[in-house]
Amino acid sequence: MTIRTAFEIALLVLSLTLPLMFATLGFLKLSREWRSRRYDQLVEETRPLVMAALDAPTSIDLSGRHGAAAETIAASLLPQLRGADRDNLANLLEQGGMLPQARQGLRSRRAARRQRSAELLGAAGNRRAAAGLAKMLDDRDGEVRQTAARALGRIGDPLSVPPLLDALDRKRVSAHTVSMALLRIGSAGAGELTIALASDSPRVRAVAADTTGALGLIAAVPTLEDLLTDENHTTRISAVRALGRLGVPTATPTLIRRLQHELVVPSLTFDDDYARALITSLGQIGERSAIPVLEQSLMRSYRLSSAAADALSEMGARRAQHSNHESLDSEDRRTSDSVPSEMSGETRDGVASTVAQSRTPQGNNLS
């Protein structure tokens, strides 16, 4: 066979197979579109049934052909609902067999299936899935682990706090995801969070401190005060911020002592972020006894002095609000009047000027 003949045969085969290949691809595409349209149609048919079932969950059977469509609708609706409608929808999914299936799906070999199941169970607030989801915090797939942590937060079972903190310690789930989950669980997990403040892991201590502050767990104040001298920088700052958020006046003397200590330490070991956090928290708590140390901070670097000016300004503004003062219309008047009135005239003018400068975008370049 000559080369020319072989080439002609190859061309012939190609000319026959190419149209066949295109026809197959076209058929597959059409078939996919048709299935998708049919599914959309099924979702449209199922939607009114799901809505009706929200008011009378036992009256409608959503198993069978409507089951998958109902699951799609529920997965979209559940995260946006609260109250009785959310509970009814979750009950509907339980009765329809979708939630039991999702609990089984947590053990699926496919990561996408495990993740979808975790999302649905979390959105439904399914407590029966909490143990299974806690195991998934060790899943081999990172996305699945994050989804499981979020789902545990949505379910809100306080028993999930220790596994979440453990996953955080072992860096299986991000600090942000764990924090959000703990916030969703809320004060029901207060006991575990207070214990976590004394954890051996600095990551756990820091997240526990942030969360206790955000949740307003005042009982944690003495432990947070102890964390002000923690060996870990992030934990120290988290503790300071938590105390500021909690706003408990009894924490003021400890915060003042820490700030005074920071202001006298040699410049090489000086922790600027920590000092600024202390200043901000003292401003948030708003005790007058903090004014001298805040005034002292005004004489330091620009970053510290502007933080101190903001803190003093916040204290003044809050007291002005308490006294039902008239609202002030000019920026200059607001600035000068928001400074605490017990300050000496010179300091008072200085603070007002620093506040005004810190509100100017290029305030530190004006000199």
Partner 1 sequence: MSRILIADDDRDICELVSFKLAALGHHVIVEHDGEGALAAARTESPDLIVLDWMMPRLTGLEVCVALQADPALARIPVILLTARAQDADIQRGFNAGANDYIVKPFSPRVLASRVHAMLARVSH
> Which residues would be at the binding site for partner 1 (CB under 8 A)?
47-48, 51-52, 54-55, 73, 76-77, 79-86
Determine the Cα–Cα distance for residues 343 and 305; give it in Å rounded to an integer. 16
> How many CB atoms lie under 10 A from the CB of residue 226?
13
* SS3 assignment, position 231: coil
CB of residue 50 to partner 1, shortest distance in Å? 8
User: Is-contact 237 213, C-beta < 8 A?
Assistant: no
CB of residue 116 to partner 1, shortest distance in Å? 17
**What DSSP character marks residue 326?**
P
Determine the Cα–Cα distance for residues 52 and 206; give it in Å rounded to an integer. 46
Q: Which residue, 76 or 364, is less far from partner 1 as judged by CB? A: 76
By CB atoms closer than 10 A (0-12, 13-18, 19+), residue 326 is exposed
Q: Which residue, 53 or 309, is less far from partner 1 as judged by CB? A: 53
Determine the Cα–Cα distance for residues 302 and 309; give it in Å rounded to an integer. 10
* SS3 assignment, position 15: helix
- Tell me the two tokens of residue 287: 């005790």
CB of residue 83 to partner 1, shortest distance in Å? 4
Q: Which residue, 55 or 349, is less far from partner 1 as judged by CB? A: 55
CB of residue 51 to partner 1, shortest distance in Å? 4
CA 289 to chain CA centroid, nearest Å? 34
Q: Which residue, 79 or 222, is less far from partner 1 as judged by CB? A: 79
* SS3 assignment, position 287: coil
Q: Which residue, 46 or 280, is less far from partner 1 as judged by CB? A: 46
Q: Which residue, 19 or 83, is less far from partner 1 as judged by CB? A: 83
Backbone angles phi, psi at 173, to 5 degrees: -135, 150
